[in-house]
A and B are shown apart, each in its own frame.
Chain A
Amino acid sequence: MEQPPRQITAIQAAATLTSTNIGVGVLALPLFTVQAANSGAPLVTLLGFLLAFVGFVPLVLLGMRFPSQSFVQYSEAIIGKWPSWIGSACVIAFFAVLTAFTSREFGEVVITAVLTRTPVEVTVIVMLLLAAISTRKDITTFAYIHHFYFPLLLVPVLLIGALSLKNADVINLLPIWGNQPTFMLEGILTTAALFEGSFVIAVVIPAMKRPDYALKANFWGMLVGGALYVMIVVATVSVFGAEETSNLLWPTLELAKATSLPANVLERLDAAFLAVWVTTVFTTLLSSYFLTVTELQKLFRQREHKMFSLFMLPFVFFIAMLPQNISQMYATIKIVGRIGLIVTIVYPTLLLVIAIIRNKRGEHADAQQMGKND
Chain B
Amino acid sequence: MRRIRQRNGKPNSESTGAEVADQGLANIGDERISGNVEETIARIREKLGENDDFTMRRFQVFGRYPAAMFYFSSMIDQAIVNRDILKPLMYMPAYLEDKPIEQDRLKSVLLDESLHHSEGKSEDRLAKLIGGIVRGQTIVAVEGLDAAIVVNTRDVDKRSIDTPATEQVIRGPREGFIEILNTNIALLRYRLQTSDLRVRSMEIGRKTASKVAVCYIDGVTNSDLVKEVQKRLSNIDIDAVLDAGYLEQFIEDNHISPFPQVQYTERPDKVVANLLEGRVAILVDGSPLALVVPTVFSQFYQSVEDYTERFLLMSAVRLARFVALIFSLVFPSLYVAIISYNPELIPTEFAVAVAGGRAGVPFPAVIEVLLIEISMEVLREATIRLPQQVGGALSIVGVLVVGQAAVAAGFASPITVVIIALTTIGSFATPAFNVALALRLLRFPLIIMAGIFGLYGVMIGLILIANHLLALQSFGVPYLSPLIPSDYQGLKDLLVRGPLWWMSKRPEFLYPRDKTRVSPDTMAQIKSPPDKVLNPANQSEKER
Contact = CB atoms under 8 A, between A and B. Distances in A.
Interface string A4-21: 000101011000000000
Nearest to B459: A278
B161 interface: no
Contact of A144 (B345, B460, B470): B470
B347 A141 contact: no
A70 to B, nearest CB: 21
Contacts of A3: none
Given A148-B470, A275-B456, A282 B346 contact: no
Interface string B457-475: 0111001101100110000
A133 B465 CA distance: 12
Given A114-B455, A271-B342, A279 B463 contact: yes
Contacts of B456: 110, 114-115, 123, 274-275, 278
Contacts of A133: 464, 467
B454 interface: yes
B101 interface: no
A30 to B, nearest CB: 23
B453 interface: yes
A264 interface: yes
Interface in A276-302: 276, 278-279, 282
Contact of A267 (B344, B459, B463, B486): B344
B412 interface: no
A149 B459 CA distance: 12
Interface centre among A12, A137, A267, A268 (most CB of B within 10 A): A267
Nearest to A277: B459
A29 to B, nearest CB: 21
Contacts of B467: 133-134, 137, 141, 145
B54 interface: no
B276 to A, nearest CB: 27
Given A126-B453, A271-B345, A144 B485 contact: yes
Interface residues on A, range: 20 to 34
B471 A276 contact: no
A148 B478 CA distance: 13
Main secondary structure of the interface of B (DSSP, over half): helix
Main secondary structure of the interface of A (DSSP, over half): helix
Given A137-B471, A144-B480, A268 B345 contact: yes
Contacts of B484: 144, 147-148
A163 to B, nearest CB: 15
A276 B346 contact: no
B344 A115 contact: no
Nearest to A106: B456
B485 A114 contact: no
Contacts of B463: 130, 134, 278-279, 282
B464 A267 contact: no
Nearest to A134: B467
Given A144-B478, A266-B346, A130 B460 contact: yes
Contacts of A353: none
B410 to A, nearest CB: 28
Nearest to A7: B485
A279 B455 CA distance: 12
Contacts of A110: 456
A12 B346 CA distance: 36
A221 B471 CA distance: 23
A267 B345 contact: yes
B341 interface: yes
Interface in A115-152: 115, 118, 123, 126, 130, 133-134, 137, 141, 144-145, 147-149
A7 B480 CA distance: 15
Contacts of B470: 137, 141, 144-145, 148
A207 to B, nearest CB: 13
A11 B488 CA distance: 13
A170 interface: no
Contact of A274 (B455, B471, B480): B455
Contacts of B486: 9, 11, 147
Contacts of A271: 341-342, 344-345, 455
Nearest to A269: B345
A342 interface: no
Nearest to A123: B456
Nearest to A148: B484
A155 interface: no
A137 B478 CA distance: 13
B193 interface: no
A27 to B, nearest CB: 15
Given A266-B346, A275-B458, A148 B341 contact: no
Interface string A222-253: 00000000000000000000000000000000
A266 B485 contact: no
Contacts of B466: 145, 148-149
Contacts of A123: 456
Contacts of B460: 126, 130, 278
Contact of A268 (B344, B455, B480, B483): B344
Nearest to B350: A267
B471 A114 contact: no
A272 interface: yes
Contacts of A264: 347
Contacts of B471: 137, 141, 144
Nearest to B344: A268
A274 B341 CA distance: 13
Interface centre among B455, B463, B466 (most CB of A within 10 A): B463
B455 A272 contact: yes
A149 B484 CA distance: 10
B388 interface: no
14 contacts: A114-B455, A115-B341, A126-B460, A141-B471, A144-B470, A145-B466, A148-B470, A264-B347, A266-B346, A266-B347, A267-B348, A271-B345, A272-B455, A278-B460
The 6 closest A-B pairs by CB, nearest first: A275-B455, A278-B459, A271-B342, A144-B470, A141-B471, A144-B484
